[in-house]
């Protein structure tokens, strides 16, 4: 990797208009702004393009007092527009919101380039059993749109989306459960950052287990399960359910890079790639963009090396 590839935390990626675009978590007072945006033509050389937001939207600050950042974006293209979901929260709280910004193009030189905030998508409060952060969009084989999300609390959730708005339909507040990590009463379940893909008749659900955000002490690792149905049940290669805290271990840290997690997935012309952050032990534990090729076993399970 070359150029400006750190700090990058909670990356998402899309290939568009001849370039790869990575968006990630950003905080107030840090350059280049909120939801930093980097681009590359080869997945190796990266440069900062700018940021999606200069400041946190007022509606989000009102909904989540004390927030200082915009976290964990996800991006997709449909209905002739780029849709970028983002999270606003405070650390350790499930008083959180997911918002949506849209753009007609990712070419900043185009006269049509303008990020437009579409406001609230999903909100969670202290009385809810889920946390509205870490969203990921998928369109299933039937053309239906879904948003997976969640961290800690009771685990990973899924909401149906209206394709016209990129938000849950107002008459269908249905919440589905996809994965959890049962723990003793009163302790949080360390599971978050879902990402889902479809491949060869299966839906694959990736999630990050254990703890991020602790630099070289981070214990994050990535697991995956699969299901024939987009709503689950998702199981690991040993058939044990992700609702019971299982799944196939996909990627752990090593001596150089600790705590790999919060992955996205890129399907490119030359193959598949896992995109994630890890903490660089040679650079004071800085959260760093990592991109690893994905191989597939004969029975359809992904394998990745750090």
- By annotation, the residues acting in catalysis are 10, 192
Chain-centre distance for alpha carbon 109: 27
Cα separation, 270 vs 161, in Å, equals 31
Cα separation, 229 vs 148, in Å, equals 14
Considering only CA atoms, which of 143, 121, 130 is closest in space to residue 63? Answer: 121
Residue 215 in 3-state DSSP? Answer: helix
Q: Do residues 70 and 26 make contact, with C-beta atoms less than 8 angstroms apart?
A: yes
What distances in angstroms separate CA 193 from CA 69, 71, 134, 198, 299, one per listed residue? 17, 11, 5, 17, 25
Considering only CA atoms, which of 261, 226, 303 is closest in space to residue 134? Answer: 261
Q: Do residues 181 and 123 make contact, with C-beta atoms less than 8 angstroms apart?
A: no
Q: By CB neighbour count within 10 A (0-12 exposed, 13-18 middle, 19+ buried), where does 171 fall?
A: exposed
CA atoms within 13 A on the CB side of 18: 1
Q: Do residues 44 and 24 make contact, with C-beta atoms less than 8 angstroms apart?
A: no
The DSSP symbol for 167 reads B
Considering only CA atoms, which of 203, 199, 200, 207 is closest in space to residue 224? Answer: 207
Cα separation, 111 vs 140, in Å, equals 33
The DSSP symbol for 243 reads G
Q: Are strands 2-3 and 45-53 parallel, antiparallel or unpaired?
A: parallel
């Amino acid at each position: 990797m070359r150029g400006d590839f750190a700090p990058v935390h909670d990356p998402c990626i899309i290939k568009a208009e001849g370039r790869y675009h990575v968006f990630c978590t950003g905080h107030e007072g840090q350059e280049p702004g909120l939801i930093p945006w980097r681009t590359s033509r080869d997945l190796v050389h990266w440069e900062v393009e700018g940021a999606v937001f200069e400041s946190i939207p007022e509606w989000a600050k009102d909904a989540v007092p004390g927030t200082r950042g915009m976290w964990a974006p996800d991006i997709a293209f449909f209905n002739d527009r780029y849709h970028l979901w983002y999270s606003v929260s405070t650390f350790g709280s499930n008083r959180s919101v997911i918002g949506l910004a849209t753009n007609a193009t990712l070419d900043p030189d185009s006269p049509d380039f303008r990020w437009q905030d579409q406001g609230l998508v999903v909100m969670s409060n202290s009385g809810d059993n889920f946390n509205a952060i870490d969203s990921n969009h998928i369109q299933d084989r039937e053309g239906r749109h879904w948003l997976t999300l969640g961290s800690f609390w009771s685990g990973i959730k899924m909401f149906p989306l209206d394709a016209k708005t990129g938000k849950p339909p107002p008459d269908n507040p249905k919440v589905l459960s996809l994965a959890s990590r049962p723990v003793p009463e009163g302790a949080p379940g360390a599971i978050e950052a879902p990402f889902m893909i479809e491949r060869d008749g299966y839906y694959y659900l990736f999630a990050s287990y254990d703890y991020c955000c602790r630099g070289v002490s981070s214990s994050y690792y990535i697991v995956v399960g699969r299901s024939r149905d987009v709503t689950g049940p998702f199981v690991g290669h040993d058939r044990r359910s992700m609702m019971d805290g299982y799944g196939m271990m996909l990627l752990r840290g090593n001596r150089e890079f600790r705590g790999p997690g919060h992955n996205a997935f890129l399907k490119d012309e030359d193959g598949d790639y896992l995109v994630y952050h890890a903490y660089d032990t040679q650079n004071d534990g800085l959260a760093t963009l990592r991109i690893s090729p994905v191989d597939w076993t004969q029975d359809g399970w992904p394998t990745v090396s750090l």
